[in-house]
Chains A and B, each alone.
Chain A
């Protein structure tokens, strides 16, 4: 019963899909199900095998073993039917530089046997704000413009599944935002299934319905961004204190004092760093980090954390009348999820702590100046 159900809902089903280059397993035994209509993100460091996986699904690379079904068609046995069901924006530019934007679209329409009028093409170009450049050669376009052209070209033949391999790689932040905006619009309007790869965690977080984390060719975790982050269950209070004491002396006592209170969540660690100016910490501040794990599934986690924060504040006040300068709550981000599953950072910069809760926390702090 259940299996039949899945078959209907899964527009893509990979079965032990594997690609070897010599000894290297670029894609290693991947079995994934992607549901119709979802935006599915593939996240992984460079060389994880994302592009290789997509190329196999697009029928331009032959799997070493395993296979996949797309829209009910086998990528090995029925590549032509698969090709009719998909559109793709490749990681590397793939538009024809020596043709105009319009000609690129027209050529694509001819190849896919889609009858189009000039007005249809201009309309699609307008979607990505390129209609005024329709008759310019693509070689005069910027990277972002080429990307937008490829995106709209990929939609021309109304594919069931659209693959986007690093659609925003190497683009500036405004262009990136625009591209995600288009992608969201498309997904909403056309009920298309979108599979994308990206390096930008926050963007994946905000746009994807579900995410697979891939490393060294293997799928390490699959789930919605929320599920993945919740599963991590690793929160932190980052409290800055004025440097009135030698805090290191108090570390153990403080931990005991906090743990003695029922703050509603588990404390996984207390850690004080002194003499660590820079990085947003001034010379006369000390950073206290308290690691937390939620053990009560039935309650709203934000409510639990805010209660806990108040308890911690009280504990600090009672303990030594510490002067708190700021309090931040760090909730798990996709970066954290990523590090957990792959043991590496995707990018050097850290994602900022969750904004909304940070505001709550700082609003609370402003009333908590303890003298």
Chain B
């Protein structure tokens, strides 16, 4: 009974989020355009100049740098748009709508999950569009593994939306949110093997990368999309799922505890 109610509440909050996102077409398109630009300009530029041997891959795999970068770029776009999306809670806190939800007879957890899912939905949609556009730039995809790729995309989306929500609950204004976000995203991104395998990094830094959920996300996505990965795919999936679950719980806990809205 209670579960059914919570699911319905999550659905309602999710619906509101989707409705709001659908109103910001400019935001959606720019979040989509950014990774495509990266892929087109960086990817084509580096395609000829980076030898795959230096990436730890043999030339015989037939994978070029553009294909190598693709999962990284998808991961990056998910990272940015999910973290930004997590700010919606802060936005609602600032502009009053959160209070309206907080006095409603629905659980705090369903408010967080509903918001999380709606933002992740949009992120995933962007991921899918990028994958659909990929054949146009001449990268061959592993069609059979696309559902697994989408699973990784979902996990990355949920994980970083949760990170955004966690930051939201701790911050009072947009400025500090942006500050923290900038401070976090760059190392997360650079230590994710988006542009180069982490095995190329000095050993101590490599260790840090193993605490980065984006690393497992991108590695798994690379495995699914182009069949190359540092770790076995199942291990990537396990790790990213664990991070995701932990961060969702943390965001729900912090949100539940946060007062003074």
Contacts and interface: CB of A to CB of B under 8 A. Distances in A.
A94 B99 contact: yes
Interface in B145-182: none
Interface string A75-115: 00000110110101010111111110001000110111100
B19 A99 contact: yes
A60 interface: yes
A85 to B, nearest CB: 9
Contact of A88 (B19, B103, B259): B103
Given A60-B261, A62-B259, A90-B99, A96 B16 contact: yes
A86 B102 CA distance: 12
Contacts of B107: 80
A80 B102 CA distance: 10
Size class of B's contact patch? 20 to 34
A94 B96 contact: yes
Given A80-B105, A83-B104, A112-B104, A107 B16 contact: yes
Nearest to A83: B105
Given A96-B16, A107-B16, A111-B9, A61 B260 contact: yes
A306 to B, nearest CB: 51
B contact face: mostly helix, strand, loop, or mixed? helix
A201 B79 CA distance: 53
A62 B260 CA distance: 9
A151 interface: no
Chain A contact residues: helix, strand, loop or mixed: loop
A60 to B, nearest CB: 5
A60 B102 contact: yes
Given A93-B95, A97-B95, A98-B20, A61 B103 contact: no
Nearest to A99: B19
Contact of B259 (A61, A90, A92): A61
Contacts of A62: 259
Contacts of B105: 80-81, 83-84, 111-113
A111 B101 contact: yes
Interface in B20-41: 20, 23
Interface in B210-261: 259-261
Given A103-B19, A108-B104, 13 more contacts: A60-B103, A83-B103, A83-B105, A88-B103, A90-B99, A90-B100, A94-B100, A96-B20, A96-B100, A98-B23, A111-B12, A111-B106, A112-B104
